[in-house]
Chains A and B, each alone.
Chain A
Amino acid sequence: MFGFFGGYHTKLKWIFPIMLFLLLFLDGAIYANMAGILTKNSSHTLPMFVALWLIYAITYELDEYLPIYLWTLVAGIIYDVFYFGVIGGYTVGFLILVWVCQKLRIYLSESLLSVLMITILGLTSLQLFTYLAANIAGLSIMTVPMFVLHTFTPTLALNVVMAVIMYVPCRYCLLFLKNN
């Protein structure tokens, strides 16, 4: 089933989803424990490790060996059900992120600056979609300038920094998985 047992890239097929789900819960755990810093001055800086992991996976072309849309869909549904209780925002948002990154990859390389470019554009599309989704669901009454100033910009800043920090370990980890 999905090449889980034996065959080429067996390690990748196990480790990728395990990391994905670990990071999924890490997002909430970090936000719960560091909310004092992350929600300072009425801003909401959201950790988005799941999104970063997906972005890195696509940049290193792991989606060629993985059912990435399936894992993204499952992770998105868990994200929505466990954190929000409203299904739709991140389920579709993560799929859009993966799709955007796949389209962008053709034009960019695997260097740090390219990864940052993909991160910025990917996270922008994810955040814009979730804002739109919250408006459709009637959950958000934030105005666009409020959203850009207090959520979008700090979140992007934090996650770009996280992407830089994660670049070296992720590169080693993913290239190792790709070649084994």
Chain B
Amino acid sequence: MKFFSSRRLVYFIIAMIVTIALLTGSVLVRNRRATPPAIQQFGNDVAGIFARVVDWPVSQAHQGYDSISQLLSTYQENTQLRSKVDKLAQAQVRAQVLENENKVLKKQLKLNSTLTNYSLVNATVISRTPSSWLSQLVINVGQNAGIKKNMSVVAGKGLIGRISEVNKTTAKVELLSDDSETANRFAIQITNSAGKSVYGIITDFNRNTNRIIMGEVTSKIKLKKGDKVFTSGLGGITPKGLYVGKVERVTNSSNGLSKSVVIVPATDFGNIPVVSVAIQK
């Protein structure tokens, strides 16, 4: 018997056309609209409630496991951290003084909004896309908390990605570790110990080594290992001063015209229980 009888072939072709239309159509909608269609939003919000219920026991178990494993290394950590705490208190006081001074100076200059003006909205991760090409987190805040598409998201020590979809009570965060073209184009700057800055954008993420790449750098400014990388606020959507990571090394590109900076990300993309969304004022 032939596998494709003429009727089967017709069904097969129709199914294929419908599938491709669905895929390309929904990608177009996702890229163009600020929010998904109302019915999709409604479905997402209802699913979000169930996801929260299912996530609760799993995250409790995870936290229990985590706290036990952390307990084993507590003593070692404690001795290391104690020395850091003293330094931190000093830095905190200094930061407070500088912040106040900054506020006063801004007022004098009549600068009402600068690139560093943002507030953070905290959110819990309720789910994660089980997929290898779309690393998305589902978080438990949405339009109700003032979240909008493309806002930057930080977790742990630094930047992790941006909002890719907003519903009423849930939102999706596309991680920086996705090497698709839309996920990780952030405007960043690196300031070296002499106080000089190199500006650029994140052009790539190396999955094998778990490193952020800032490519196409033509600046002659010398960068060292350990120089801090943060968002530059250029481009308007991302606020300035979100910590991204540290410089690991600078490599020459194959054509010799530009350099690439290899950056160690500040956050471990594998373990993100809570995130904060940066809302620009």
Contact = CB atoms under 8 A, between A and B. Distances in A.
Interface of A: 21-22, 25-40, 42, 44, 46-48, 77-78, 80-89, 91-92, 130, 133-134, 136-142, 147, 150-151
Given A33-B62, A92-B19, A85 B30 contact: yes
A32 B50 contact: no
Interface string B31-68: 00000100010011001101101110011011000000
5 contacts: A26-B54, A26-B58, A39-B269, A48-B130, A140-B180
Contacts of A26: 54, 58
Contacts of A139: 27, 133-134, 180
A29 B59 contact: yes
A25 B53 CA distance: 9
A82 B27 CA distance: 14
B129 A137 contact: no
Given A81-B43, A137-B27, A35 B207 contact: no
Interface in B58-91: 58-59, 61-62
Contact of A81 (B44, B50, B58): B44
B268 A32 contact: no
Nearest to B58: A29
B160 to A, nearest CB: 12
Given A84-B134, A141-B180, A78 B22 contact: no
Contacts of B270: 35-40
A19 to B, nearest CB: 12
A37 B27 CA distance: 30
Contact of A82 (B51, B125, B207): B51
Contact of B271 (A35, A86, A134): A35
A102 to B, nearest CB: 15
B170 to A, nearest CB: 9
Given A32-B128, A82-B43, A87-B26, 6 more contacts: A25-B50, A27-B130, A28-B51, A29-B54, A137-B26, A147-B132
A33 B58 contact: yes
A88 B22 contact: yes
A36 to B, nearest CB: 4
A39 B23 CA distance: 26
Contacts of A150: 132, 207
A152 to B, nearest CB: 9
B128 A85 contact: no
Contacts of A134: 131, 133-134
A153 B120 CA distance: 39
